[in-house]
Structure 1
């Protein structure tokens, strides 16, 4: 699995988001590797008009429908046909209490709506595991966006440790992932997939980069 976090990059906003999502779908169909765009809420419905692969949101809130302003509710996400969401990215941290409330509400509203909880270290990973998300992600914040290092090259032993800690919950890893070698190293440590962002979004040819990353699944 390859999750592509569009963030709020210009290269992944509006019509550019549509183009990138189409590239994700094209490569996924060619390689049979599941590639999931993780997008801004305002781009979700636009993208859904052009692709059939599952689309996730970058964040949702725990708030219920009602007199709330400026939040993305779970109900709105489900009705807009989002397939899931990531939560607790280091750029958008959420308290454990709010994570628990969000996960519990999502489970009650739509059991098929998937949630990945991100963790900057193994202590948070264990706390997040107690909420029983669909995926756990280990993403050390100091490596996010790195052009020279990645979680696979500098935290390989922790990936293996995290996979053991995650147990039956699939472990995804991210931070600095930008090459086939990064993906291979992650998979060899028993990660089930990777979360990428700038390593794909900011390249001149995102489709070619996705093909490179997806080819790792035939190599490891």
Structure 2
């Protein structure tokens, strides 16, 4: 099978990741707002959704990279309760999150799922909770490697600059084409700005958006912060 070459992701990218906090009409409202804001930006915006809402988001937006929060390596056939890559692709999914601390995978399965994502023209966003794990996963050639210490998830405490530099260097020494995402503890536009200024290729947020008084306004604040960081970095 001929390998599909995906277009290059426009950086610094942003990931709106509602996890399971939002679904249905509330999720669509946020997606439509993010889609409108993304149209005015010169970088990519990913948007994750629960499985049952992925097709709805894909069919109602044009500027977002619709992203599944997990996927299995199973091919169509027997396999009750699994998520088949081809079904996601047909629903309009263009990327997949893998190995998040809340849904981790064994190495053997991770290898299989990354390959299955490539077969279905999907970007892979793979999580690692330490520099050592990030180095190991980098050998699998994901498109994006999310370096997120598990203990900082949802705490509002962001990874410090030394951690960002260490993970960036460790990953790029193995494969300079992998984009490095830093998103632990992101909760404000200021966090987004400082993370991009510190050298991340992209970032994202969950609770800082879904728990905000105005989630749509928070998405705008965070995307504007990326734009500001880009201008200041030149």
CA contact (8 A) 1:24 1:36 kept: no
Q: Tell whether the 8 Å contact from 1:184 to 1:216 is kept in structure 2 after alignment.
A: yes
The equivalent residue for 1:25 is 35
Hey, what's the Cα distance between the residues in 1 that align with 2:182 and 2:46? Answer: 14
**1:175 matched residue in structure 2:** 184
What is the number of residues matched between the two proteins? 212
2:166 maps to 1:161: yes
Q: Which moved more, 1:123-132 or 1:210-219?
A: 210-219
- Deviation (angstroms), 1:72: 0.6
Q: CA deviation at 1:219?
A: 2.9
- In structure 2, distance between residues paired with 1:98 and 1:61: 8
1: CA distance between counterparts of 2:208 and 2:99?
A: 20
Structure 1 residue 150 corresponds to structure 2 residue 161: no
CA distance in 2, matches of 1:106, 1:33: 22
Corresponding position: 1:57 with 2:68 = yes
Structure 2 unmatched ranges of 5 or more: 1-12, 230-234
Task: Give the whole-Å Cα distance in 1 for the aligned partners of 2:143 and 2:41.
Answer: 24
1:129 match: 138
1:202 aligns with 2:207: no
Give, in whole Å, the separation in 2 of the partners of 1:201 and 1:176. Answer: 14
In the TM superposition, residue 162 of structure 1 has moved relative to its aligned partner by 1.0
* 3-state SS of 2:97 partner: strand
| Superposed displacement of residue 217, structure 1 | 2.4
Aligned counterparts of 1:171 and 1:210: Cα–Cα separation in 2: 21
CA distance in 2, matches of 1:133, 1:33: 19
Q: Is the 8 A contact 1:28 1:34 kept in 2?
A: yes
Equivalent position to 2:89, from 67, 73, 78:
78
Contact 1:44 1:57 in 2 (8 A): yes
TM-score by length of structure 1 reads: 0.91
Contact (CA 8 Å) 1:137, 1:173: kept in 2 or not? yes
In the alignment, the residues of structure 1 paired with residue 67 and residue 116 of structure 2 have an alpha-carbon distance, to the nearest angstrom, of 17
Residue 89 of structure 1 deviates from its aligned partner by 0.6
Residue 96 of structure 1, CA deviation: 1.1
Report the TM-score when normalising by structure 2: 0.86
